[in-house]
Each structure stands twice: as structure tokens, then as C-alpha cells.
Structure 1
């Protein structure tokens, strides 16, 4: 329950989490088996009706954090370093962090998503914590040609369809959600999660620490990656150490590199700094925004960032940063015109049988203006 609780978007973090934060608030970022907001719903957060609470949208919950937030007195902020984690405010007022010195320094464990790659850093722990294995009729699935190793470490929803698949949960739990459809030859190594309505193509290979979001269809090889809802990578190709936004469609053999040949730390484009930022990670692939389509054989280098509303392809490696509203085959890239981009976005939303957001045009305009300097 989250009565009298809202989530606020720290403007600096919103910028730092581009392009994933264009079409969703911070609490709607995905990792593990759910959004951040849904993770908070799993905790009993008892607040006083007269003292509403605002929580940093990218803050990950834990029991000690919940207790500290519940003890906030009126007009008080809970902070760690320079980051406001949560604050209380006057009933009927806008949820804005208090400008006074009424702040409490939190010395406990606090984890919040500051950059897109942080979702991958916390992915394994989230899957291990959130997947609750449940007994099921294993003979039913064996009769359909499935092999399930460590079935006591799996959750399989009764409505899920599995035929001729191999699930290996011996090193981590596996979650197969409602109305999931795994086609023949699918191999999954846990920890991994397939969320509601997702599916695989023939022979898909899903390696550990991967989340396939609701309504996604995937194939080929995917490793340590998060697919936000309603995206497709249905064919062969490798995606590793990556975060893929919503309504993405990857052409056959689209692939990314996630480790440098010299094993040096990987840098990625940073939106607030308008330059490359050293992540300190030796494994990092692709950060891709919403409404992106890639042509067949598209290749992405380590630490690549692609904005929203792009239709791109290449014979060689694409640039490591591709701003929103980019169209064409590299190196002959052009500006993807607003009207055409909106038409294509609506078509993909309709294909996934979802409602077109009322603010779609408004958000597109905001992205267009915000990234004007990047396009030139």
C-alpha cells in the first residue's frame, strides 16, 4: 500500500537517465520483475494521512529505508550526501523538497539509480530477491518435451505455454509469468524473468540476469539485459549487458559488443555532460530509448547510446551515440521528420494493442527541442 505517498523526479537524475527517462517517470524504470514503484508496493509503508510523503523515484526500497521514511516529521527531508531520498510536505501543497535546513542524514544502506547502467548493476540482486519459486506439476511440462533443472527454483504461471524448452535454474531462479509463450528450443539460464505476455522465437538463448518485459518477443542470444515492455528482438543476433526501451524493433542479426578487446573500462555518452563518461565497467553494451527500429545486421559497439524515435541501420559499426530522431543507413544519417516518426510510433503502439498516450505528441516535441544541439 502506498497511501499518501508520491514519487518525485529529481531533475538532475532525470537528465542523467536519458534516454530512458523521456517516456517514463523515474519510478517507472524496470529491473528485476517489476518497476521501481511496484517494488515499493511490496512494503507496508504506513504514513500519517496529514503528513504526505514523497519518495525519490529511482530509490530502491529496503526494510530499514521504509522505517526511516515512516518516521519523518512534517516538512522534513531524509538525505544521504547531497541526495534527497524522501521528504514530507504540507497536505494540499505541491511535493517539493523543503528548502530549510530541516534535514535528517541517513546513514543506512541507500541505493538509487543514477545512470542507465545502474539498472544492470542491481539486476541480479533484484531477480534473486523478487522471484518466489512455487511448486508446479513438472510431469505436465515434461510430457511436452521440456527439461527443467532445479524445478524447485522456478515459478511458472499456469497460463504459460512451454514446449520443447530447457530451463536451468540450478544457479538462479527462473520466473515464467502469465500468458508467456516459449517456443521450441528455447534455453533459459537463471536468474531470469519473462513477464506477462512475453514470448520467444524458436531456439532463443536467454542467459543469466535477463528480464524480458511484458509483451516483448525475443530470439537469438540475450545476456544480462533488460527489455522494457512491448519491444521485439525476434531473430538471431546477440544483445548483452544492455537496457532496451519500449516499442523497439530490432532487425535480424542486430547485435552489440559488450566487452572491449583490451578489457578496459567502457565509456558511454552522458546527456547532462554532452560528452563521454567513464562508467568504470568492463561489460556494458547498449542503452536504447523508446521507438527505435534497427535494420538487419545493425552493429553496435561497446557503450553505445541510442535516443528515441530512430530508424537506423548500417553495414559497419554505428556511431556510439545516436541522438533522437535519427533516420537512415550510416554514414548517410538524416533527421527523422516529426510527422513520420509519430506515424510509425503509433503503428507500433497499435501492433502491441496498447492505447496511444495522450501526451505522445507533447513528449516528442520536448525530445525534439532538448536534443536539437545533438542533431547538429
Structure 2
């Protein structure tokens, strides 16, 4: 019998995972082939209906499910003072680590595991394509794949509903291209990459997560990066993911209000929602860009760009709120989506929170 799980949000964690959580809950973050909340086998929307309460940042892996099944009645798993899971009253506290998100880049660490666990191949007929290890390739019957090479020898590949893979596309698994995604001619999708629903991608993409309805349609490299929703990286936008001195990468931390050494040697960009970059923009290793930014640069802009930044570096200024709102609505409409009722309110909250950084 599957546990009925209720996910609760931790506000401190939501703050720490910015800019990815500026417009969404922690449970709504993407990895593998879905959001985190959709990976729970039996999720309920009311705590009173649940067998167990789980912090939404807990990573839903088989080892996590096993530990939750072992949690006794009226007990809770606690790690470093944080309640991670609770059954009943939770009065009996058990010190137990569960895999949990702490920082935005942690999503990338679980990509390979999620993709391998979630993708089951359907052995498609090659047609005019080349499939390497087709038993580990899934292609939805409505997808269009033309003149491309899909290599699943190192991990499975998922091509979802209404996906359009244009000629010359190269895909190395594990990788997932979700509903309504389009690749441009000659796109190169490398391992541990998720392209979310409604995205359009091209150039070279390696170990990245694209949240729904974003674009990087033309040439340029992006590696070890996460891109929020309704963002558009202009042609020849390039992101570095390795320092020239091969040292570990520091990343702006919203909790520390300053840089944090990630301990990682490969880490590119963490990009919020509704971000646009101009043609030829170059982004440095370990760059964080807040939501609602419109920027361009020939040189490398700062490694932290606050939300609602606008212009060509070094002349960045505050993005006029009404123009930013109109831009967000335009991108939503371009992707044939409905404008959320709370969009303006959500944007106002982000505007206030990041005002001091822009100034």
C-alpha cells in the first residue's frame, strides 16, 4: 500500500533556493521528467488525509521511500533541528538524514538518477534516424524525429508528446525532451539534460534543466545550468561552466547575501523566470540571474544580477516595473499560456525583496 504523502513548504528553504522559487513552490521545481511533487506516488492536498507529512525539499528517491515506510507511528525524522518527515503527532524524534535540497544547484546532482529511473524505452523503429541502443529510447507516437542521431548507450532518452526533433539533432542519454519541445537544426543535447514542456532549444546544451516554456533556440553553449520558465537566451549567448584555474565555483547565495563556495568544479548559471539575454551575451562561471531581467553584454556581466535588472552591462539599471510586467505577459501569450492571476502580486513581492541589491 502506498503512503499518502502531504508536502509542506519550509520558508527558509524556499528563500535559499531563489531565484528558482521566486515564482513557484519548492515542490514545483523540475528535475528528471517532472516536478518534484509529481514524483511522489500518492500525494494528497490536505494534511488531514495524509499518512505522513514530508518537507517538500526532501528528494523523492527509492531510498527516501524506504525510510519513510519505516517511520514509526507518532514519530518524526529530524536532521540538524529540521523536521523532514512526520507521522501522526511526531512526538518521538529520530535523528535521520534524508536526501534534501539545500541549494539550487542540488537539482543537477539528482538528474542522472531521476532520468535513469523514470525513462522506460519503447524500442522505436529507426526510420530515417540513427538510434544507438534503441531499447532504452522512448519516443511518443505523436513526436516528429527527422534525420537525427539518438545515443542511449550511456543512459535512456525520452522524447515526449508533440516533440519536434529537427534534422541534424544529436542527443546523448540520459536526457528528456518533454511535451511540445522543439530542437533547432543541428542541436546538440548532451547527458543529464531535461528540456521542459514548450521549450525551443538549439546549440550545445550539457547537464542542464530547462523549466517549461523557455528558449535557447540558436548557437551557443550552456552547461551545468538551470533556466527558469519563460526565459529567452538570445543567439550566441554562451555560459562558462568551468573556471580557467580549475578551482571550485562560488555562487551567490540569497541566504548569505554573498558568495558561497559550492565545492563543485563544473557549474554554470542559475537563471530565474522571465529573463532575456541579447545576442552574443557571455555569462561567467557561477552566475546567478534573478527573475525579470533584460540584459546584454559583450564582456562578462557580474556573477550576481538582481531581479528586475535592465540594459547593456556595465550600464545596468532597474527595469521599469510596468514594462517588465508587459514583457512577462507577452512571453506567456507567445507560448499560448494563460497569464496567472497572481502574476502582478508575485512580481511586486520580488521587486520589493531585491530593491536594495539593484540600488
Under a length normalisation based on structure 2, what TM-score does the superposition of the two structures give? 0.94
- In the TM superposition, what are the counterparts of 1:48-67 in structure 2 within 5 Å? 53-67=52-66
Residue 135 of structure 1 and its aligned partner are, at CA, apart by 2.8
2:123 counterpart (135, 138, 158): 135
Query: Is the CA contact (8 Å cut-off) linking 1:233 and 1:249 kept in structure 2?
Result: yes
> 1:371 and 1:49, CA in 2 relative to 1: closer, same or farther beyond 3 A?
closer
Q: Distance in 2 between matches of 1:158 and 1:182?
A: 13
Q: Given the alignment of the two structures, is residue 84 of structure 1 paired with residue 55 of structure 2, yes or no?
A: no
Displacement, 1:132?
A: 1.0
**In 2, Cα distance between equivalents of 1:233 and 1:312:** 15
Measure, in 2, the Cα distance between the counterparts of 1:180 and 1:373. 42
Question: Partners of 1:44 and 1:365 in 2: how far apart?
Answer: 31
Whether 1:205 aligns to 2:188 is yes
Contact (CA 8 Å) 1:171, 1:190: kept in 2 or not? yes
Q: Which residue of 2 is the match for residue 9 of structure 1?
A: 9
Change (3 A) 1:319 1:48: closer
CA distance in 1, matches of 2:5, 2:123: 35
Q: 2:95 aligns with which of 91, 98, 105?
A: 105
Query: How many angstroms apart in 2 are the aligned matches of 1:147 and 1:153?
Result: 13
Change over 3 Å in CA distance of 1:64–1:174 after alignment to 2: closer
Hey, what does 2:34 align to over in structure 1? 34
1:147 is matched with 130
Moved more, 125-134 or 184-193: 125-134
The answer on whether the counterparts of 1:298 and 1:314 sit within 8 Å (CA) in structure 2 is: yes
Preserved contact between residue 76 and residue 93 of structure 2 (Cα < 8 Å): yes
Is the CA contact (8 Å cut-off) linking 2:5 and 2:40 kept in structure 1? no
Distance 2:88 2:324 in 1: 41
Shift of 1:81: 3.0
Contact 2:7 2:27 in 1 (8 A): yes
Rounded Cα–Cα distance in structure 2 between residues aligned with 1:210 and 1:284: 14
Tell me if structure 1 keeps the 8 A contact 2:293–2:309.
Answer: yes
Q: Which residue of 1 aligns with 2:201?
A: 218
1:93 corresponding residue in structure 2 = none
Q: Structure 2 vs 1, CA of residues 203 and 64 (structure 1 numbering), >3 Å: closer, same or farther?
A: closer
- Determine helix, strand or coil for the equivalent of 2:154: coil
| Partners of 1:159 and 1:180 within 8 A in 2 | yes
8 A contact 2:136–2:156 mirrored in 1: yes
Structure 1: gaps spanning 5 or more residues: 91-97
Provide the aligned length of Structure 1 versus Structure 2: 358
C-alpha distance in structure 1 between counterparts of 2:289 and 2:82, whole Å: 28
Describe the shift of the 1:296–1:2 C-alpha distance in structure 2 as closer, same or farther (beyond 3 A).
farther
The answer to whether the 8 A contact 1:77-1:103 is kept is: yes
Task: Write the deviation string for residues 281-308 of structure 1: whole angstroms up to 9, x where unpaired.
Answer: 0000000000000000000000000000
Closer, same or farther: CA 73–226 of 1 in aligned 2, 3 Å: same
Q: CA deviation at 1:134?
A: 1.7
Q: CA RMSD in A?
A: 2.2
Matched, 1:325 2:313: no
Q: Deviations over 1:229-276 (max 9, x none)?
A: 000000000011100000001110001000011100000100111100
- Out of 266, 275, 286, the residue aligned to residue 292 of structure 1 is 275
1:136-168 alpha-carbon deviations (Å, 9 max, x no partner): 3x1xx42xx211111111111111100111111
- 1:74 CA displacement: 6.6
Deviations 1:308-328 (A, max 9, x none): 000000111111000000000
Partner of 1:117: 105
Q: Give the unaligned 5+ runs of structure 2.
A: none
Matches within 5 A, 1:192-271: 192-271=175-254
* Distance in 2, Cα, partners of 1:49 & 1:360: 30
